Amino acid sequence: MATDIKNLTSNEFNDWCPGCLLPDNTIIGNPSAKAIQEFKVGDKVLGSDGYFHRINEVMSHIHKGKIYRLKVAYFGETTLTHEHPVLAVKASEMKNRDIQPEWFEAEKLEVGDYVAYPIVKLTKDIKYLPISYNKKSKDTRSKEPLKKVNVDKDFLRLAGYYIAEGNTHNREIELTFGKDEEDLALDTKRLFNKVFNLDATIKSRKEKGSIEVHVYSSYLAEIFSNWFGEYAENKKIPHELVLLPAEKSLSLLFGLWKGDGFINTKSLRAGYKTISPILKEQIKMLLLRNGIIPYVYEQSAQGIHKKSYSLEVKNQHYNKLVEAFGIKSKKANASTNVISVMDDNYLYLRIRSLDTFDYNGPVFNFEVADVNSYVSNSATLHNCGDSGIVLAVKNAIVKANLDPHKTVIVSGIGCSSKLPHLVNVNGVHTLHGRPIPFAEGIKLANPDLTVLLDSGDGDTYGIGVGHFISAGRRNTDIKLFIHDNGVYSLTKGQASPTLPEGRKTKSIPGPNINGALSPLSLAIMSGYNFVARAQSFKVNELADIMVKAIQHKGLALVDIMQGCPTYNPEFTAAPWFNAHLKALPQDYDGYVKDPSNKEEVNEKKLNAIKMLLSEDPDNMHTGIFFQNEDPDTFESRLEARKIPSPVSQKIADENGNSLTDIEPLLKGLEV
């Protein structure tokens, strides 16, 4: 029975997993910023690394309890659940020359600490924008536009003028300037002629105290509306222009500022006001790329006035702005109140206040490819690594073409173990350390089922290690997907059996004094015939390995290096995994071609053990270490002894009468 990701998504949500925001929080996306509740799978959002990444999953659930209101200097507030990880630096660490941000739960932050806000790294210079349009047979007056427009200083300044002062209607473009801005009207007229080879008309509206510039072209009106927005509330900058080299984007900023901003050379302040939330974030992004930090204020709607946003530039940042625009002005004094610090990667903003309020309603979260993080209007936020594994399991079920009605997910206790609730297949949420015997029992009772086991490193390699070893003796056809982050996350971060000696996590008083268990080596020596390692942030790679494990006949282990931003953030973040996990060498061979050849089997096991012994906690491999398609499964042994599975045995006739006589059993129990 074919299925898809949508059908596999249940109505449940992992409600202890970090990463939940109120619906109206603004998230920085590509091509536009918008409320978190408006994003969908496939959209791109800004990640903690300064690049844009695809949303793999959007999640929502009802939260009842406290919500934290995190307010920072310059950029305002983000509202989030108490356990949501925020990229930040403690106040005491800001004195260091080399600032290293970490992930902190919102409730563990304090006023005076600094949140890290990424500077967009992606830069793409473009020479021209293509112009596409449909020829209009009924419009004989409009001149057909050019095929493309050069993205130069003239075009960018004109774009800034339109975004600030323009709108489109009745087959024409109109820009409205103040009565004292005749120079801007004349410049606009000149630019339309130079850039688009179109004539513009200037009209003085003395009764309105304004000057209007009109360009008749139904084609260009439609193009400008698509590029820049039609009215003030939906004005935007095309994403291609946001990513221009910083210096080149100054022409666009100059046009915006001349059109609708102000620069006061007496008070030494500059500002821009808009009612477009998208434009507000885009201007902020352009300013940051030029090393200019704006204060962002929000004014509530009042009467006929809509909600508006002001970006104000002062102090040393005013000096940078007027210098960039070539405007002569006195120098403003630099601020002595250090509320922000900027380096090549982040802007660090001091937390002004952190309070809570009661809430009962929907909260939202993303699963973001590669970096498992996204950026609000004022903070950088992280997901829990479980989300990537949930998505990989769903993808694997689809790719392996499993029938949901004949698929079972079994789990024990831990952050990993709510997965049966999150995937719309049969599920059993069992006892701590005991999911393996449950999974074996289900498979033996009904061999037609595909049985997947999702559990954690503590659940499986700690309290459940005896069952883990014994499973290798049987080789039952079940698949173990183990979430391995080195800590017991659900019970606040104690060291699990896989945490390397000497590592210090947030919840243990000192470096770990125990050696680490090697689950892959243990599995190979215990009799597992499919042994692999993957990581939670590379969802597609993980799903592909899961598919191979599902297709393997017999017991399979996939040990998944999983992110835990709350209790083991340093050693389980995506950048750390990418730096310290590498694929097995291309010439590595762990595949047994002839399962009946004991020498080859032992050789491939030895290859795997040698590879695992060559590793250290800071240098490990991903991929399939050992694979042996041995037909000797526990099910085949039962079949050889003619022991039928319980599901194949009749317990009643067609009339419902029992066919089982337990009288001899009861007699045997008599004392």
Claim: this prediction has a pTM higher than 0.85: no
User: What local confidence, expressed as pLDDT, does residue 428 receive?
Assistant: 94
User: What local confidence, expressed as pLDDT, does residue 417 receive?
Assistant: 81
Query: At 304, is the secondary structure helix, strand, or coil?
Result: coil
Catalogue the long-range contacts made by 487-493 (C-beta closer than 8 Å, 24 or more residues apart).
487/458, 487/564, 487/567, 487/568, 488/414, 488/456, 488/458, 488/462, 489/414, 489/415, 489/456, 489/564, 489/566, 489/567, 489/568, 490/16, 490/413, 490/414, 490/415, 492/567, 493/564, 493/566, 493/567, 493/568
Phi then psi for residue 17, to 5 deg, are -80, 130
Question: In the numeric block, which tokens belong to residue 381?
Answer: 């936020």
User: What local confidence, expressed as pLDDT, does residue 274 receive?
Assistant: 96
User: What local confidence, expressed as pLDDT, does residue 668 receive?
Assistant: 82
pLDDT tens for residues 126-146? 999 998 877 766 665 677 778
User: What local confidence, expressed as pLDDT, does residue 539 receive?
Assistant: 80
pLDDT tens for residues 71-104? 999 999 999 988 788 889 999 988 887 888 887 8
Phi then psi for residue 500, to 5 deg, are -60, 150
Query: Domains in the chain, start-ordered, CATH in brackets?
Result: 18-112+353-382 (2.170.16.10), 128-341 (3.10.28.10), 386-633 (3.40.50.970)
User: What local confidence, expressed as pLDDT, does residue 371 receive?
Assistant: 81
Stretches where the chain sits below pLDDT 70 are 1-2, 5-6, 9-19, 136-141, 384-387, 565-566
Smallest Cα–Cα separation from 32: which of 269, 236, 265, 256?
236
